[in-house]
Amino acid sequence: MKKLFGRTRDYFSLVRFSHTVFALPFALAGYFIGATEPGYGFSLKTFILVLACMVFARSAAMAFNRWADVRFDSINPRTTIREIPSGKITPRQAMVFVVASSLLFIASAALLNRLTLVLSPVALAVILGYSYTKRFTPLCHLVLGLGLSLAPIGAYIAVTGHFALLPLIYSLIVLTWVSGFDIIYSLQDDQFDRETGLYSIPAVMSRGKALAVSTALHTLTVALVAVAGVTGGAGYIYWAGAAVFIVMLIYQHLIVKPDDLSRVDLAFGTTNGIAGVIFGLAVVLDLLLL
């Protein structure tokens, strides 16, 4: 039992399961935007399948990223403790996990509706393909953001079977938000990226300019949050959650400086995790209660 627990913990760590908070609140927002529209409603089956799609897709993406980057992770002092470089999980085991998660994602999508099934390979191409973008473009942060941005529109399509403007706006919120904080996170590896020929915005710019790009993306995030609220006719719960979300965005830019990266983890994980959960919860409660 102890060995089984240890293996499970290793796989949870491999996919950074705790980082699910970045996408889950917005997947729930997309689901409830669809479920509260006229002619639709809450379906436990659909709800569970949406959660399954998100978990399986994200697990496949994270495990594939670790598998694809093992050569770099094994020589980067910051990442040598990860599961594959440290030998806790072999590359073959990681790839088996990727394939299994991908198949379960497609199967879950197939049980929702035809459009989710048709789009599932496209989603996989984006979230798996991200792992190679750092080899040729500093815009890799935007591809990561694009991958996570599929959560709200995907959840909405799962309910309704079609596209709509409001969930697309939420997807743009996720894209700019995630891209912005991923730039902050990648500041830790700017020198390593230059030395190994990898691309990132901090690697091709100064840290100050990279933070300016992150600030610009998060400024766009704030604008999109306002657009989503107006477009959706949001009530006071939404705007209260949006205010907290915006304050947390500002806070992370105040605590990370070009010459002081000591609080990058606080900005990347803790601050954005709290911000995403509060905002996503506010969106859902506003839809259900007002």
Mind listing the pLDDT tens digit for each residue in 185-202? 999 999 999 999 999 999
Alpha carbon dihedral 170, 171, 172, 177, in 10-degree steps, equals 90
* 246 domain-assigned: yes
* 13 domain-assigned: no
Residue/partner pairs of 106-111 with CB below 8 Å, 24 or more apart: 108/49, 108/52, 108/53, 108/56, 109/53, 109/158, 111/49
Q: Which two tokens stand for residue 207?
A: 């840290």
Task: Evaluate if residue 19 carries a pLDDT over 70.
Answer: no
CATH number of the domain that 131 lies in?
Answer: 1.10.357.140
145 touches 177 (CB < 8 A): yes
* 7 domain-assigned: no
In the structure, what pLDDT confidence band is assigned to residue 65 with cuts at 50, 70 and 90?
Answer: very high
* 1 domain-assigned: no
Q: Which residue has the higher pLDDT, 18 or 234?
A: 234
Q: Which residue has the higher pLDDT, 3 or 269?
A: 269
* 183 domain-assigned: yes
* 149 domain-assigned: yes
Identify the three-state secondary structure at position 136: coil
Range of the domain at 121: 18-289
Q: Which residue has the higher pLDDT, 14 or 148?
A: 148
* 10 domain-assigned: no
Percentage of the chain modeled with pLDDT above 90: 89
For residue 7, the model assigns a pLDDT of 67
Number of structural domains found in the chain:
1
In the structure, what pLDDT confidence band is assigned to residue 1 with cuts at 50, 70 and 90?
Answer: low
For residue 5, the model assigns a pLDDT of 59
Task: Evaluate if residue 26 carries a pLDDT over 60.
Answer: yes
* 6 domain-assigned: no
In the structure, what pLDDT confidence band is assigned to residue 218 with cuts at 50, 70 and 90?
Answer: very high
How confident is the model over 122-141, as a mean pLDDT? 97
